[in-house]
Amino acid sequence: MKPLIRIASGQGFWGDLLSAPYEQVTRGSVDYLVMDYLAEVTMSIMQKQKRRDPALGYAKDLVPLMERLLPVITEKGTTVITNGGGVNPEACRDAIFAVARKLGIRSLQVGVVLGDDILDRIDALRSQGEALSNMETGESLDSVRDRLVSANVYFGAWPIVEALDRGAQLVITGRTTDTGLTLAPMIHEFRWGKGDWDRLAAGTVAGHILECGGQASGGNFSADWRSVPELDRIGFPIAEARPGGEIVITKHAGTGGMVSIQTVTEQLLYEIGDPRAYITPDCVADFTTINLESDGADRVKLFGIKGRPATDSYKVSMSYLDGYTAVGTLTYAWPEAMEKAQAADGILRKRLASLGLTFDEIRTEYVGVNACHGPIAERVRDPNEVMLRVGVRGGDREAVERFGREIAPLILTGPPTVTGFAGGRPKPGEVISYWPALMKKKAVAPSVVVATLA
């Protein structure tokens, strides 16, 4: 058993800093690189891509990234774990195998975790007693059943552990919990058991800190953000873990950003509900038991974390088509910029009404005045410029498209000093809405396939 392992965060979402994973594996020694690509809306995007092309449905950025990483990780023995497989982990694996062959790499074992995609099993599962009602509203799935575009179960760390136990150097999953990516190598290396609730909770907390990439090392820092050095070359966080569940969060020396009690605390507060019950498929972590202590420059120690047994349910992330939307913008310059923007909005709304166009929602924002804080925003007396941003949402695609045709005429038939329409008419886009649900763990089982490059 190793006395310590170093787990590096490489991506916090699909679209994160492309240089971060390479920096993590080349600037110093790490045992594992974990990369989180998925969010609720991401799954629906990937599902639509897969319907258009059966060879797609994963984070496409991952393949060229692995072309850069593979020579380094094979030389250093670094293991990569990622949920970038989306809704097509096997296709993602095959694309990476093709890259490995191109690079002349002759030995690579890739583990794939399958079974989370239940879109084709919805009716069968419901007939077996899984209602899949909206866990927030209680609404029946019947209301959106014919509009579902994705349905994925949140698996945890244990399928990844199986892949690692079977020798995988790269593990690709679908909808795995963000925390599970980091917890899995701790379980694998330290042989933690399914009843080691405090240690599992400690690994889960570490995973929560790493899951958003540079947000734990000074990015998006809302305290003294000016004190964060060299964000242009921010170092992503690293978790140093020991067998007893002791965790230190740090980063590579010589990189920008910072790891402090404040940066770690902000990330700990990110996207949590009841802090006493942070529920994952692996355990329930009590965030009120977390103790933080400075362990030197850019080092924060976590200790005292308590956990409880996991629940008997998985969370299911589903999405469905919910109409169409379009958003248009125009910019009005000083003087009376805000008054002009408000007048233009009034003109637009009257024209839409005269055309008999109705929408489920129409929203106006004045960027530079109230776009972030809405009605509680303090009115700027006479701003230099205001961007009028108007959006509509509705089930009638033609009505939404016609809205887009009514923005441009304001340039010559509305208030003066207008600009900012170089992007052309706004086009209708599909609205994808989120449907969270619960299902019994016994109703679905993950499967793990480990393949060797041939």
pLDDT band at 454 (very low <50, low <70, confident <90, very high): confident
Instruction: Note the pLDDT of residue 99.
Output: 98
Q: What is the 3-state secondary structure (H, E, C) of 170-226?
A: EEECCCECHHHHHHHHHHHHHCCCCCCHHHHHHHHHHHHHHCCHHHHHCCCCCCCHH
Is residue 32's pLDDT more than 90?
Answer: yes
What single DSSP character describes residue 122?
H
Quick: pLDDT tens for 203-249.
Answer: 999 999 999 999 999 999 999 999 999 999 999 999 999 999 999 99
> What's the rounded Cα separation, in Å, for the pair 292 and 227?
20
In the block, residue with structure tokens 């089982």: 445
Summarize the confidence of residues 76-91 as an average pLDDT. Answer: 98
In the block, residue with structure tokens 């409880």: 308
Domains of the chain, CATH where assigned:
5-116+154-311 (no CATH), 319-435 (3.30.70.2750)
Q: Return the percentage of the chain with pLDDT > 90, whole number.
A: 93
> What's the rounded Cα separation, in Å, for the pair 45 and 50?
9
> Identity (one letter) of the amino acid at 333?
A
Q: What is the 3-state secondary structure (H, E, C) of 41-87?
A: HHHHHHHHHHHHCCCCCCCCCHHHHHHHHHHHHHHHCCEEEECCCCC
pLDDT band at 382 (very low <50, low <70, confident <90, very high): confident
Give the residue with greater pLDDT, 372 vs 153: 153
pLDDT band at 421 (very low <50, low <70, confident <90, very high): confident
> What's the rounded Cα separation, in Å, for the pair 341 and 334?
11
Instruction: Note the pLDDT of residue 391.
Output: 98
Instruction: Note the pLDDT of residue 267.
Output: 98
Q: Is 145 exposed, middle or buried (0-12, 13-18, 19+ CB in 10 A)?
A: middle
pLDDT band at 375 (very low <50, low <70, confident <90, very high): confident
Instruction: Note the pLDDT of residue 40.
Output: 79
> What's the rounded Cα separation, in Å, for the pair 402 and 422?
19
Mode of pairing for the β-strands spanning 5-11 and 109-114: unpaired
Work out the mean pLDDT of the chain and round it to a whole number: 96
Of 238, 240, 272, the closest CA to residue 20 belongs to 238
Mode of pairing for the β-strands spanning 300-303 and 306-308: unpaired
pLDDT band at 374 (very low <50, low <70, confident <90, very high): confident
pLDDT band at 256 (very low <50, low <70, confident <90, very high): very high
> What's the rounded Cα separation, in Å, for the pair 56 and 208?
28
Quick: pLDDT tens for 270-321.
Answer: 999 999 999 999 999 999 999 999 999 999 999 999 999 999 999 999 999 9
Neighbouring-strand partners of residue 239:
7, 249
Is residue 22's pLDDT more than 80?
Answer: yes
Q: What are phi and psi of 108, to 5 degrees?
A: -160, 125
| Contact (Cβ atoms closer than 8 angstroms) between residue 410 and residue 110 | no
> What's the rounded Cα separation, in Å, for the pair 452 and 69?
18
Instruction: Note the pLDDT of residue 142.
Output: 98
pLDDT band at 376 (very low <50, low <70, confident <90, very high): confident
| Contact (Cβ atoms closer than 8 angstroms) between residue 308 and residue 274 | no
Instruction: Note the pLDDT of residue 44.
Output: 85
- Percent helix, strand and coil across the chain, each to the nearest 5: 35, 25, 40
Instruction: Note the pLDDT of residue 338.
Output: 95
Q: What is the 3-state secondary structure (H, E, C) of 367-428?
A: ECCCCCCHHHCCCCCCCCEEEEEEEEEECCHHHHHHHHHCCCCHHHHCCCCEECCCCCCCCC
DSSP 3-state assignment of 443? helix
Q: Return the percentage of the chain with pLDDT > 70, whole number.
A: 100
Task: List strands edge to edge, sheet with 278-279.
Answer: 278-279, 284-286, 306-308
> What's the rounded Cα separation, in Å, for the pair 345 and 390?
8
> What's the rounded Cα separation, in Å, for the pair 205 and 244?
14
Summarize the confidence of residues 424-449 as an average pLDDT. Answer: 96
